[in-house]
Amino acid sequence: MDQALEPVLVVIPTYNERENLEPIIARLHAALPSAHVLVVDDGSPDGTGDLADGLAAADSRVNVLHRTEKAGLGAAYIAGFSWALERDFAVVVEMDADGSHAPEDLPRMLAALGDADLVLGSRYVPGGRVVNWPKRREFLSKGGNLYARLALGAKVKDITGGYRAFRRAVLEKLKLGTVASHGYCFQIDLAWRTIEAGFTVVEVPITFAERERGESKMSGSIVREAYIRVTKWGLRRRGTQLLSLFKR
């Protein structure tokens, strides 16, 4: 891998992922031995944080950031990004703890960073696929992506996906302190900010597999938040376009 794209930090948010955490980190290091890991645990009552501390004690590549309450995916990632920017990491990766994001896909994603600033692991470009997902979830995901593309004018096919790799410069440029999105809307928010800032975004096909252990964090409130926020961003975009026409 390009030396300018090292070191790599993989941020893994956790809440009650004790069964999944150790296997996913083992797979990650098998696929990319040089990768560092930051587990951001939101006070998991099942002992995930204690397990992460044990893994960190045994392996200098593993780090843990403990938070006192479950404050949402977006807040966990922002905390992880801030931790990374305080150190010398060149690339920061988002990855779920539940095994739905295959670590074996990460080397291809990092290779694509040679010509990009943000690489999205995409389920909906040629070569990408979803495994063992209920039809309702697949419909919801595809519908959400279509709505976001139409509302925002974004050309990416999988703007809601949570498997992605950022160059450090992107996170330094974005005003992370102003990001208020909490659930999976956070993924749309960060990708859209990156596109608006003029960075190059590419998609790499991945295989997304439904989790085998534990429960999904998806809920109706997460879907509503995404719908409301994307609608507001889309209306703001249309308003800006209309104002520019009137000023001509």
Rounded to 10 degrees, the C-alpha dihedral 237/241/243/245 comes to: 180
Count of positions (residues) in the chain: 248
Phi and psi (nearest 5°) for 13? Answer: -75, 145
Return d(Cα 243, Cα 152) in angstroms, integer: 16
Mean of pLDDT values over 51-66: 98
Mind listing the domains of the chain with CATH numbers?
A: 3-246 (3.90.550.10)
Q: Is the pLDDT of residue 182 over 80?
A: no
Predicted local distance difference test score (pLDDT) of residue 85: 97
Per-residue tokens: 213: 């252990």
Please report, to the nearest 10 degrees, the dihedral formed by the alpha carbons of residues 162, 26, 18, 86 taken in order.
Answer: -60
3-state class of 104 per DSSP?
Answer: helix
183: pLDDT strictly greater than 60: yes
- The per-residue pLDDT for range 201-210, each reduced to its tens digit, is 999 999 999 8
Instruction: Give per-residue pLDDT as tens, 16-35.
Output: 999 999 999 999 999 999 99
What is the pLDDT, as a whole number, of residue 133?
Answer: 86
Q: What is the pLDDT of residue 243?
A: 56
Q: Are 195 and 85 in contact (CB under 8 A)?
A: no
What is the pTM for the complete model shown? Answer: 0.87
pLDDT tier at 63 (50, 70, 90 boundaries)?
very high
